[in-house]
A = this chain, B = another copy of it.
Amino acid sequence: MGEDAGAVTASELREAWPALSTGERLEGFVLLDRRQAEDLFVSIPARDQSELLLAHPPEGRRLWLRLLAPDDIADVVQAAPAAEREGLLAQLDAPTRVEVSALLAYAEDVAGGLMSPRFARLRPGMTVEEALRYLRRQGQAQLETAPYLYVLDAGQVLQGVLSLRELFMAPPGRLVAEVMRRQLVTAPTDLDQEQLSLLFAQHDLLAIPVCDGGGRLQGVVTLDDIVDVVREEATEDIQKIGGTEALDQPYLSIPLLRMVKKRGGWLAALFLGEMLTATAMGHYEHEIARAVVLALFVPLIISSGGNSGSQATTLVIRALALRELRLVDWWRVARREVASGLLLGLTLGTIGLLRILIWQGLFHTYGQHYLVVGLTVAASLVGVVTFGSLTGAMLPFLLRKSGFDPASASAPFVATLVDVSGLIIYFSVASLILRGTLLP
């Protein structure tokens, strides 16, 4: 940016936005005209809205906040540092402040924290014509947010739902109660956002009403919030599968030390686990001293176990997240993985044996006992790959069963588990096959 920032257009800024630093964003933002700035402001994530707002003097913040729906304001307040939150709430008019405060009582990642408290309400006893007239009188605000109209009784209990389109197409003299849909999909306020996104997927809906225990309508979650949820949950899963805590912030904007902390915890834990490989190798020190050729294949063997485990764990983690697998399926999965593991292990074992035979033919690398060495490597690969696939597939089930996130069965975690057992398999096979030739 810098001197040529004057040339920036709203759409260029919007395009580049996720990758810009806070300074670059502010620089670009102040150059936009008011309408462009408003369009951009409402379309960026709550964290960025919060940053932009706090860069304005307190008296300039009210106008920007007013552009947002109460649920979006709640997100902005939640994204601001604790010390600034009261100040932001003070900028709101009284009714909005009540709505926003109610939303702030819910966790960010449950239905209550995602819902908008603004929706169009109808009474079941209105005629279609009265309802249309009533909506027109209410003006835009109530219709803006949710795609459906909600029919409530005097106690605010949800009776039915219909779209503006359905109301508009219905005979004017009929009662709302006669034309509304009574089969409702609703969510409790504390429903987890991942469950909620599956509810949307199962029923192909544009919005789901959120009710309290008494069936009273509290707010509405719309599909556009769910797209963000789906993206966010996938990001968390991907980061966990990569063996790090979820960053919860874009790569370039998270402070270096915080990122190192989020990565360092897992890395150190894995390192401590991996230390068992040194212990295991220590047990076989005499075998290695006698047959150094054995050591040469250690990385090849344990990494093959790690790779097959990493494949299995990511497939199962994703299938569990999409509900393609349930806990009760663990046995079916175990059988599949043993079968795939054996097939994959035989493939790698054959390649490994061929490699040793060819190298021996060309370079005489492996000494007179090359054939038994080759058989040891091949047999170990079958064992290690089968064990890796099975472990990688079962670990996410075990974590889910114990109440943890299956995605924590990251590729590096599984690889570490499989490394230690891979060594044991390899050296056990070796002492079995090589006894009398390379080993005593």
A contact set with B: CB distance below 8 Å = 14-19, 42-43, 132, 135-136, 139-140, 143-144, 147, 164-165, 168-169, 197, 200-204, 206, 223-224, 226-228, 230-231, 234-235, 237-239, 241-244, 247, 250-252, 256, 259-260, 263-264, 266-268, 270-272, 274-275, 277-278, 281-282, 285, 288-289, 292-293, 295-300, 302-304, 306-308, 310-311, 313-319, 322-326, 329, 332-333, 336, 339-340, 343-344, 347-348, 351-352, 355, 365, 385, 411-412, 415-416, 419, 423
- Given the known interface contacts A14-B202, A318-B238, A326-B19, the answer about A300 and B288 at a Cβ–Cβ threshold of 8 Å is no
- Do A43 and B202 touch across chains, with their CB atoms under 8 A apart? yes
- Do A204 and B42 touch across chains, with their CB atoms under 8 A apart? yes
26 contacts between A and B (CB under 8 A): A18-B322, A19-B325, A164-B164, A201-B228, A223-B223, A223-B227, A234-B234, A238-B317, A241-B411, A244-B314, A250-B322, A252-B325, A263-B344, A266-B307, A267-B344, A270-B303, A271-B352, A274-B303, A275-B355, A277-B299, A277-B303, A278-B299, A278-B300, A288-B295, A289-B292, A303-B415
Instruction: Provide the residues of chain B in CB contact with A419, threshold 8 Å.
Output: 299, 303
Q: For the complex, give the distance between the alpha carbons of A247 and B202 in Å.
A: 22
- Do B231 and A307 touch across chains, with their CB atoms under 8 A apart? no
Q: For the complex, give the distance between the alpha carbons of A94 and B228 in Å.
A: 39
Q: State how many angstroms separate the Cβ of A409 from the closest Cβ of chain B.
A: 11
Q: Does more than half of chain A's interface fall in helix, strand or loop, or is it mixed?
A: helix
- Given the known interface contacts A241-B314, A325-B251, the answer about A348 and B416 at a Cβ–Cβ threshold of 8 Å is no
Q: For the complex, give the distance between the alpha carbons of A351 and B432 in Å.
A: 35
Instruction: Provide the residues of chain B in CB contact with A415, threshold 8 Å.
Output: 303, 306-307, 415
- Do B315 and A244 touch across chains, with their CB atoms under 8 A apart? yes
Q: For the complex, give the distance between the alpha carbons of A351 and B15 in Å.
A: 44
- If A282-B296, A288-B295 are given as contacts, then 19 extra A-B residue pairs at C-beta distance below 8 Å, sorted by A number, are A140-B169, A147-B206, A235-B322, A241-B411, A243-B307, A243-B310, A244-B315, A252-B336, A260-B344, A266-B307, A266-B311, A267-B347, A268-B347, A270-B303, A271-B304, A277-B300, A281-B298, A281-B299, A288-B288
- Do A251 and B295 touch across chains, with their CB atoms under 8 A apart? no
- Do B15 and A202 touch across chains, with their CB atoms under 8 A apart? yes
